Structure formats: structure tokens, C-alpha cells
């Protein structure tokens, strides 16, 4: 089983819809991150969480919200999806010290029509 | 703000060739530097992690170096194989509390058989 699992893997939806992307991990890591990747670009940080009670905005948080339901679960919501949020979304985890590599899920490909 | 640049954006080489991928970053206050591999439609696989106190890391045919003073990292791939074809991303972990990564836009490598 994958250490970091993202659901769904693919999603097509319409402008204005509310969408939730989910991430769960079995690494036992405290830190979790949401990134988005656009074609030809690197990944950009949306939100990150150090534990259940600590959630922080990243570089491009506008239009997104998150929820850390448990240490192992971190979900990303698009309250009212717009076409320029079409992208590949990745969840990642890391240990508390940040001395080990970040571990990534396989991504969710989101298309907003 | 940290910026990470990767050159070249794309590279095509014949099988067996040794090659170097370049990564540069603007802020030397870097905690670590990671190299990832991304296959089409897949997530990121961590290849090598170099801590700020280290100069290089090796894994099999891969060797990554880090020079904080010049703001550069290189990924050396020896005896390239068609299975090495993928996009290679470098990412700098900033020496701030969040330990999130700042990514370059990647080098797309094609190894011709």
C-alpha cells in the first residue's frame, strides 16, 4: 500500500462547484503539505500543517481551504472552483525535523470546465 | 523569496552517455536540497537529499552535489539508460519553520536507445 494516498486520482467538474481532495498517510509524519503543479512549472505550496491544530497558508492559498481531520488526514477544498484551478495537485508529508525526504502522493488531476 | 531555476528545460541524449542536470537557487539560507524524479502521470519519487552541511550524496549511478555559496546543485547521471527518461525536479528546503520546498520547473530528460 502507498504511504501517501490521494483521492480521487482524477476529477472533472464544472465552474462554481465545491470540490474536496483528500490525502491520507501511513508514515506517522506530523507535517503535511498541499502543492499544485501546472504544466511546465514546478510545484507551488498551497497550504501546510504541522499538526491537527496548526494550519498555515502557503504561496497560493487564495480560493482554497484545508482541514486536518487527524494526524493522518489532510484535505484540500475548492469552495467555488474556477477554470484556472485546473492543475495536478499533490499531497506530501515530512517528519517533524525535516531531515528526511518529503514523501509525495501520486497526485490528483483536476479539470474544471 | 527563494527562486529555483533548472537548466536545461529539456535534454535528449543517447544511451550510455554521462550527463549533468543543473539547479540554481537565489537564497543560500537553504536547509536541504532534494532531487526528485517524476514520470508522466505519476507522483514524485525522491532520488537524493543533501543536507545543508553536506556537499554531495550518491545513490547508484546518481550523484548530487550542493554548493550553497554559489547557489548551485548538480545531478550527475552516469551511463544513462532509456529507463532514466523522466522529468527531474530539484527543490530547496528553506531554513524556516515550515520546511516546505521551493521547486524548480524541472528538466525533461529523454534517453534514446
Looking at chain B, which residue has its C-alpha nearest residue A39?
B105
Q: Can you give the pLDDT at residue B96?
A: 64
Taking the CA of residue A2 and the nearest CA in chain B, the distance in Å comes to: 11
Q: Are A26 and A90 in contact (CB under 8 A)?
A: no
pLDDT digits (tens, 9 = 90+) for A16-74: 999 999 999 999 999 999 999 998 788 999 999 988 999 999 989 999 999 999 999 99
Beta bridge partners of A6: A23
User: Which member of B43, B49, B100 has the closest CB to residue A90?
Assistant: B43
pLDDT at B101: 86
Is the CB of residue B106 less than 8 Å away from at least one CB of chain A? yes
How far does Cα A75 stand from its chain's mean position?
Answer: 7
Chain pair A-B, CB pairs under 8 angstroms: 59
Cα maximum dimension of chain B: 45
Is the pLDDT confidence value at A90 over 90? yes
Could you tell me whether strands A19-25 and A4-7 are parallel, antiparallel, or unpaired per DSSP bridges? Answer: antiparallel
- Residues of chain B contacting residue A39, judged by C-beta atoms under 8 Å apart: none
pLDDT, residue B15, reads: 97
- The pLDDT value given to residue B95: 64
Residues of A in contact with B36 (CB under 8 A): 104
C-beta contacts of B65-69 below 8 A and 24+ residues apart: B66/B33, B68/B28, B68/B30, B69/B28
3-state secondary structure of B82: helix
Query: For the segment B14-37, what is each residue's pLDDT rounded down to a tens digit?
Result: 999 999 999 999 988 888 899 999
Under an 8 A CB cutoff, do A107 and B106 touch? no
The DSSP bridge partners found for residue A31 are: A94
- Which residues of chain A neighbour B64 with C-beta distances below 8 Å? none
Contact predicate A69/A8, CB 8 Å: no
pLDDT in tens, B60-88: 999 999 999 999 999 999 999 999 999 99
Instruction: Check pLDDT > 70 for residue B97.
Output: no
Non-local (6+) Cβ contacts of A93 within 8 A are A3, A4, A25, A27, A29, A31, A32, A33, A102, A103
Which of the four pLDDT bands, split at 50, 70 and 90, describes residue B43? confident
Q: Beta A108-112 vs A87-94: how paired, if at all? A: antiparallel
pLDDT at B2: 82
DSSP state string for A42-77: -EEEEEEEEETTEEEE-TT-TTEEEEEEETTEEEEE
Calculate the average pLDDT of chain B. Answer: 91
Instruction: Give the per-residue pLDDT at A98.
Output: 65
CA-based nearest residue in chain B for residue A109 = B41
* Number of Cβ atoms within 10 Å of the Cβ of A94: 23
Of A66, A69, A71, nearest in space to A89 by CA:
A66
Judged against a pLDDT cut of 70, whether residue B99 lies above it is answered with no
Amino acid at each position: 500500500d502507498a504511504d501517501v494516498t490521494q483521492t480521487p486520482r482524477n476529477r472533472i467538474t464544472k465552474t462554481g462547484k465545491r470540490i474536496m481532495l483528500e490525502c491520507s498517510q501511513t508514515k506517522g509524519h506530523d507535517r503535511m503539505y498541499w502543492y499544485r503543479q501546472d504544466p511546465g512549472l514546478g510545484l507551488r505550496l498551497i497550504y501546510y500543517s504541522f499538526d491537527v491544530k496548526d494550519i498555515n497558508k502557503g504561496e497560493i492559498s487564495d480560493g482554497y481551504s484545508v482541514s486536518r481531520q487527524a494526524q493522518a488526514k489532510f484535505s484540500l477544498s475548492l469552495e467555488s472552483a474556477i477554470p484556472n484551478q485546473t492543475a495536478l495537485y499533490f499531497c506530501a508529508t515530512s517528519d517533524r525535523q525535516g531531515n528526511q525526504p518529503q514523501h509525495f502522493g501520486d497526485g490528483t488531476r483536476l479539470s474544471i470546465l | 523569496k527563494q527562486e529555483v531555476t533548472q537548466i536545461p528545460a529539456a535534454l535528449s541524449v543517447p544511451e550510455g552517455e554521462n550527463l549533468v542536470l543543473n539547479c540554481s537557487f537565489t537564497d543560500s539560507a537553504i536547509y536541504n536540497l532534494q532531487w526528485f524524479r517524476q514520470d508522466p502521470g505519476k507522483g514524485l519519487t525522491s532520488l537524493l537529499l543533501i543536507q545543508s552541511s553536506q556537499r554531495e550524496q550518491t545513490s547508484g549511478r546518481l550523484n548530487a552535489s550542493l554548493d550553497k555559496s554559489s547557489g548551485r546543485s548538480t545531478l550527475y547521471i552516469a551511463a544513462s539508460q532509456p529507463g532514466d527518461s523522466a522529468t527531474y525536479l530539484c527543490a530547496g528546503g528553506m531554513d524556516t519553520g515550515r520546511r516546505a520546498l521551493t521547486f524548480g520547473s524541472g528538466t525533461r530528460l529523454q534517453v534514446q536507445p
